[in-house]
């Protein structure tokens, strides 16, 4: 990789580039889809799960820099999708993509990237790019791939500069399902695939989809619920018409304040009637906004499978202070200082002290910023699904 100003010569053999809004050019070898795409550049520290990362709708309008150097070596398969809707627009990696070497692989990573319209850039000093993001924040950029190595750099810089960025952007409507449906499918086991999802005599969860990972719904099923998924802008009357025992608020991309313009009134009404509510990631932020808190844009965000989160506050008993190893993907956070009386902080990041969980006193409502379905611990946080399903049908405690 080479960092350069637009006026400097393009390295020989470069077929891809990352063009930052400040005019910096990061050169490398392009792979996957041909063309260019704009987004915010972030970094992810996970050593595994690149297919899950790139198909997570929370990464919509983002370009993921993988800090782990060997990406693509296990190929891809038809089971590890987190969603069929748009995820990340592209990725940046250190090493050239090698041949796949895994018995579950059905397609080479480069072919999969091309088939799904995602642009890749290899041969990049990802440590240098990550340090830049950590020091200067996540930049807007264009990732481009041209097999002939020809780029209109001025036009790419202009597009990066004109893109408004994620702040103030509601992306949930772009990645949500467009009609409600009964979720089918439980947890996955090697050699067996995904389990079924029994629906009789189970508490009913209506899941509002702001851009959800499918594995969340599988975990709700594994915890004992049946799930109906509805679009992000589903109104209160439509939710109640489905006769839920509880409502789940999903993860998703974009600025929570923007999505909250239509989501928060529905959640407030559900809180007023003491509906059990569980929120993850963006859903956690929606719950905090509905309870009177605020959110903020983070400098670099949290993205990876190795984030320590501590249980804080009262009510934990013998597990007070316990640390969970969690998976995270968020560039916005709940402002803990903004939480009003009656909203209790339950989890906190040990990396930077940011809020990672809340509960609302006197209500059956709680949320976490991290992803308990992602199995980084690998089962440190499954208790949250069991806690939520256990609330269904009970009065407030």
Catalytic residue among 145, 302, 307, 371: 371
Sign of the CA dihedral with 341 first, then 245, 182, and 235 last = negative
Q: Name the DSSP letter for residue 26.
A: E
Give yes or no: 281 in active site: yes
CA distance 358 to 381: 15
Catalytic residue among 281, 302, 307, 356: 281
Catalytic residue among 40, 82, 110, 373: 373
β-partners of residue 311 are: 347
Give yes or no: 373 in active site: yes
DSSP 288-332: HHHTT-EEEEEEEEEEEEEEEEEE-SSS-GGGTT-EEEEEEEEEE
CA distance 268 to 146: 49
DSSP 143-200: EEE-TT----HHHHHHHHHHS--STT---HHHHS-SS-EE-----EETTTEE-----T
Which of the residues are catalytic?
A: 281, 371, 373
């Amino acid at each position: 990789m080479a960092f350069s100003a637009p006026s400097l010569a393009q390295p020989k053999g470069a077929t891809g580039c990352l063009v930052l809004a400040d005019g910096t050019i990061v050169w490398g070898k392009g792979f996957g889809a041909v063309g260019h795409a704009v987004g915010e550049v972030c970094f992810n520290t996970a050593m595994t799960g690149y297919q899950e990362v790139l198909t997570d709708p929370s990464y919509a309008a983002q370009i993921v820099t993988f800090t782990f150097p060997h990406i693509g070596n296990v190929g891809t398969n038809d089971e590890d999708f987190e969603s069929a809707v748009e995820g990340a627009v592209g990725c940046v990696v250190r090493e050239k993509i090698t041949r796949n070497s895994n018995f579950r692989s059905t397609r080479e990573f480069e072919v999969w990237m091309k088939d799904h319209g995602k642009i890749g850039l290899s041969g990049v000093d990802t440590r240098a790019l990550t340090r830049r993001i950590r020091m200067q924040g996540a930049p807007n950029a264009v990732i481009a791939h041209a097999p002939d190595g020809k780029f209109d750099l001025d036009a790419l810089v202009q597009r990066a500069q004109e893109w408004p960025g994620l702040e103030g952007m509601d992306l949930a409507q772009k990645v949500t399902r467009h009609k409600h449906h009964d979720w089918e499918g439980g947890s996955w086991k090697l050699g067996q695939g995904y389990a079924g999802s029994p629906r009789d005599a189970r508490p009913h969860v209506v899941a509002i989809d702001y851009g959800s990972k499918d594995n969340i719904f599988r975990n709700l099923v594994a915890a004992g619920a049946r799930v109906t998924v509805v679009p992000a802008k589903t109104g209160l009357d439509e939710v109640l018409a489905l006769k839920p025992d509880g409502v789940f608020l999903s993860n998703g991309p974009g600025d929570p304040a923007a999505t909250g313009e239509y989501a928060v009134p529905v959640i407030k009404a559900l809180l007023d009637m003491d509906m059990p509510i569980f929120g993850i990631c963006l859903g956690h932020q929606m719950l905090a906004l509905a309870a009177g808190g605020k959110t903020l844009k983070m400098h670099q965000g949290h993205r990876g499978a190795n984030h320590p989160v501590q249980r804080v506050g009262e009510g934990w008993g013998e597990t007070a202070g316990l640390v969970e190893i969690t998976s995270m993907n968020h560039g916005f956070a709940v402002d803990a200082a903004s939480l009003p009386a009656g909203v209790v902080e339950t989890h906190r990041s040990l990396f930077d002290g940011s809020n990672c969980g809340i509960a609302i006193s006197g209500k059956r409502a709680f949320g976490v910023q991290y992803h308990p379905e992602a199995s980084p611990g690998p089962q440190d946080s499954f208790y949250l699904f069991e806690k939520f399903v256990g609330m269904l049908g009970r009065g407030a405690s």
